[in-house]
Amino acid sequence: MLMPDPHHRDLMLKQELSQQVGGRVELTPAERLLDSLLHQLKVKEMAILPFPPAKHFFKVRHVIQKSPVFKLLQKMPKGKKSQGFSGRSHLSFDKIILYPAGAALHIHSSALVSADWLVLNATYRPNCYICFMREGSVRFIFSAYMPFPRWGCSFWSRLDTLRAGLSDVTAFDNSLMKNFTLFTDDPETAFPTQDAAWKRFEEIFVALSGLVTYAPVFKDYIYQGLKELYDDNIMYLELRVGQSRAYELDGTVHDKAWSLEVYRNITEKFRENHPDFIGSRVIYSIHRSLSVSTVKQVVQEAIEMQRQYPDILAGFDLVGREDTGGSIWYFREALSLPSELKKNLTFFFHAGETDLDGTEVDRNVLDALLFNTSRIGHGFALVHHPLAKELARTRGVAVELCPISNQVLNLVSDLRNHPAGVLMSDGHPIVVSSDDPTLFGTTGLSYDFYEVFVGIGGLSANLGTLKELAMNSIRYSSLSSLLKDKAIMLWEEKWNKFIADNSKS
Amino acid sequence: MLMPDPHHRDLMLKQELSQQVGGRVELTPAERLLDSLLHQLKVKEMAILPFPPAKHFFKVRHVIQKSPVFKLLQKMPKGKKSQGFSGRSHLSFDKIILYPAGAALHIHSSALVSADWLVLNATYRPNCYICFMREGSVRFIFSAYMPFPRWGCSFWSRLDTLRAGLSDVTAFDNSLMKNFTLFTDDPETAFPTQDAAWKRFEEIFVALSGLVTYAPVFKDYIYQGLKELYDDNIMYLELRVGQSRAYELDGTVHDKAWSLEVYRNITEKFRENHPDFIGSRVIYSIHRSLSVSTVKQVVQEAIEMQRQYPDILAGFDLVGREDTGGSIWYFREALSLPSELKKNLTFFFHAGETDLDGTEVDRNVLDALLFNTSRIGHGFALVHHPLAKELARTRGVAVELCPISNQVLNLVSDLRNHPAGVLMSDGHPIVVSSDDPTLFGTTGLSYDFYEVFVGIGGLSANLGTLKELAMNSIRYSSLSSLLKDKAIMLWEEKWNKFIADNSKS
| Mean pLDDT, residues B150-158 taken together | 93
Whole-angstrom distance, CA of residue A312 vs CA of residue A67: 38
pLDDT at A38: 87
**Chain B residue with minimal CA distance to A371?**
B4
Q: Which amino acid is at B433?
A: S
**Chain B residue with minimal CA distance to A420?**
B384
A341 and chain B: CB distance < 8 Å anywhere? no
Interchain contact, A339 vs B3, CB within 8 Å: yes
E strand spans, B288-418? 313-319, 350-351, 375-378, 398-401
pLDDT, tens digit only, all 505 positions of chain A: 568 899 999 999 999 999 999 999 999 999 999 899 889 888 988 888 899 999 999 999 988 888 767 545 433 332 333 333 333 333 222 333 445 678 999 999 999 999 999 999 999 999 999 999 988 899 999 999 999 999 899 999 999 999 999 999 999 999 999 999 999 999 999 999 999 999 999 999 999 999 999 999 999 999 999 999 998 889 999 999 999 999 999 999 999 999 999 999 999 999 999 999 999 999 999 999 999 999 999 999 999 999 999 999 999 999 999 999 999 999 999 999 999 999 999 999 999 999 999 999 999 999 999 999 999 999 999 999 999 999 999 999 999 999 999 999 999 999 999 999 999 999 999 999 999 999 999 988 889 999 999 999 999 999 999 999 999 999 999 999 999 999 999 999 888 988 887 776 5
CATH number for the segment(s) A103-114+212-492? 3.20.20.140
pLDDT at B379: 98
Q: Give the closest-approach CA distance of A394 to chain B in angstroms.
A: 16
| Mean pLDDT, residues B195-206 taken together | 95
Q: What is the pLDDT of residues B243-278, one digit of tens each?
A: 999 999 999 999 999 999 999 999 999 999 999 999
**Chain A residue with minimal CA distance to B339?**
A2
CB proximity list for B310: less than 8 A, separation 6 or greater: none
Band of the pLDDT at B112, cuts 50, 70, 90? very high
Q: What is the pLDDT of residues B84-110, one digit of tens each?
A: 333 333 322 233 344 567 899 999 999
pLDDT at A100: 66
What are the angstrom distances between the C-alpha of A367 and each of A40, A295, A345, A433? 43, 17, 16, 22
Instruction: Inform me whether the pLDDT recorded for B316 exceeds 50.
Output: yes
Interchain contact, A3 vs B332, CB within 8 Å: yes
Band of the pLDDT at B70, cuts 50, 70, 90? low
Q: Give the closest-approach CA distance of B504 to chain A in angstroms.
A: 28
Interchain contact, B422 vs A358, CB within 8 Å: no
Band of the pLDDT at B66, cuts 50, 70, 90? confident
CB proximity list for A349: less than 8 A, separation 6 or greater: A317, A318, A328, A364, A368, A371, A373, A376, A377
Exposure on the CB side of residue B228, measured as CA atoms within 13 A: 31
Whole-angstrom distance, CA of residue B448 vs CA of residue B437: 10
| Mean pLDDT, residues B411-420 taken together | 98
DSSP states of A313-374: EEEEEEES-TTTS--TTTTHHHHTHHHHTT----B-EEE-----TTSSGGGHHHHHHHTT-S
CA-based R_g, chain A, Å: 23
* Of A501, A499, A502, A471, the residue nearest A28 (C-alpha): A499
pLDDT at B504: 60
| Mean pLDDT, residues B130-149 taken together | 94
Q: What is the ipTM of this complex?
A: 0.93
* Of A239, A293, A230, the residue nearest A101 (C-alpha): A230
**Chain B residue with minimal CA distance to A359?**
B459
Most distant CA pair in chain A, distance: 88
Instruction: Inform me whether the pLDDT recorded for B371 exceeds 80.
Output: yes
- Please identify among residues 187-206 of chain A the ones whose CB lies closer than 8 Å to any CB of chain B: 193
Dihedral sign for Cα atoms in the order B444, B450, B451, B456? positive
Residue B145 CB coordination number (10 Å) = 10
What SS3 state is found at B379?
coil
A339 and chain B: CB distance < 8 Å anywhere? yes
Which residues of B belong to the active site?
A: 353, 378
Whole-angstrom distance, CA of residue B358 vs CA of residue B20: 28
Packing angle of the helix pair B215-231, B194-212 (nearest 10 deg)? 120
Q: What percent of chain B has pLDDT over 70?
A: 93
- Please identify among residues 425-454 of chain A the ones whose CB lies closer than 8 Å to any CB of chain B: 425-426
Whole-angstrom distance, CA of residue B280 vs CA of residue B259: 14
Q: What percent of chain B has pLDDT over 90?
A: 82
Which residues of A belong to the active site?
A: 353, 378
Q: Which amino acid is at A376?
A: I
The phi, psi pair for A323, rounded to 5°, reads -60, -30
Report the DSSP pairing between strands A349-351 and A279-287: unpaired
**Chain A residue with minimal CA distance to B383?**
A422
A11 and chain B: CB distance < 8 Å anywhere? no
| Mean pLDDT, residues B146-163 taken together | 95
Band of the pLDDT at B80, cuts 50, 70, 90? very low
Interchain contact, B421 vs A9, CB within 8 Å: no
Interchain contact, A12 vs B339, CB within 8 Å: no
CA-based R_g, chain B, Å: 23
* Of A316, A230, A317, the residue nearest A267 (C-alpha): A230
Mutate which of A1, A8, A11, A12 to disrupt the B interface (most B C-beta within 10 Å)?
A12
A343 and chain B: CB distance < 8 Å anywhere? no
**Chain A residue with minimal CA distance to B332?**
A3
Q: Which amino acid is at B420?
A: A
Report the DSSP pairing between strands B128-132 and B157-158: antiparallel
Interchain contact, A358 vs B461, CB within 8 Å: yes
Q: What is the pLDDT of residues B3-54, one digit of tens each?
A: 889 999 999 999 999 999 999 999 999 999 989 988 988 898 888 889 999 9
Interchain contact, B413 vs A416, CB within 8 Å: no
For chain B, give every domain's residue range: 103-114+212-492, 116-194
pLDDT at A48: 85
B357 and chain A: CB distance < 8 Å anywhere? yes
Interchain contact, B386 vs A414, CB within 8 Å: no
Q: Give the closest-approach CA distance of B356 to chain A in angstroms.
A: 7
Q: Which amino acid is at B380?
A: F
Residue A89 CB coordination number (10 Å) = 7
Q: Give the closest-approach CA distance of A413 to chain B in angstroms.
A: 7
pLDDT at B233: 87
B211 and chain A: CB distance < 8 Å anywhere? no
What are the angstrom distances between the C-alpha of A393 and each of A238, A376, A387, A388, B385? 21, 11, 10, 8, 18
Whole-angstrom distance, CA of residue B298 vs CA of residue B279: 25
Q: Give the closest-approach CA distance of A12 to chain B in angstroms.
A: 8
E strand spans, A337-471? 349-351, 375-378, 398-401, 430-432
Whole-angstrom distance, CA of residue B352 vs CA of residue A27: 29
**Chain A residue with minimal CA distance to B50?**
A193
Count how many residues are written for chain A.
505
What are the angstrom distances between the C-alpha of A373 and each of A345, A350, A351, A377, B15? 10, 9, 10, 10, 21
Whole-angstrom distance, CA of residue A285 vs CA of residue A288: 9
- Please identify among residues 225-284 of chain A the ones whose CB lies closer than 8 Å to any CB of chain B: none
Nearest to B13 among A15, A359, A366 (CB): A366
Interchain contact, A386 vs B19, CB within 8 Å: yes
pLDDT at A68: 63
pLDDT at A500: 83
Q: Which amino acid is at B465?
A: T
CB-count burial class (<10 Å; 0-12, 13-18, 19+) for A414:
buried
Q: What is the pLDDT of residues B448-476, one digit of tens each?
A: 999 999 999 999 999 999 999 999 999 99
Q: Residue B17's Cα: distance from chain center in Å? A: 28
CB proximity list for A16: less than 8 A, separation 6 or greater: A425, B366, B385, B386, B387, B388
Sheet holding A313-319, edge to edge: A102-108, A234-241, A279-287, A313-319
Whole-angstrom distance, CA of residue A11 vs CA of residue A7: 6
Whole-angstrom distance, CA of residue A138 vs CA of residue A123: 12
DSSP run (H or E) holding B108: strand B102-108
CB proximity list for B409: less than 8 A, separation 6 or greater: B194, B197, B198, B201, B353
A59 and chain B: CB distance < 8 Å anywhere? no
Whole-angstrom distance, CA of residue A499 vs CA of residue B461: 49
Q: How many CB pairs under 8 A join A and B?
A: 148
Terminal alpha carbon distance of chain B: 46
CB B42, CB B54: distance < 8 Å: no
Residue B80 CB coordination number (10 Å) = 10
Interchain contact, A386 vs B1, CB within 8 Å: no
B324 and chain A: CB distance < 8 Å anywhere? no
pTM of the model: 0.94
Whole-angstrom distance, CA of residue B434 vs CA of residue B408: 12
Q: Which residues of B touch A366 (CB under 8 A)?
A: 9, 12-13, 16
DSSP run (H or E) holding A410: none
Interchain contact, A422 vs B419, CB within 8 Å: yes
A359 and chain B: CB distance < 8 Å anywhere? yes
Whole-angstrom distance, CA of residue A385 vs CA of residue A363: 9
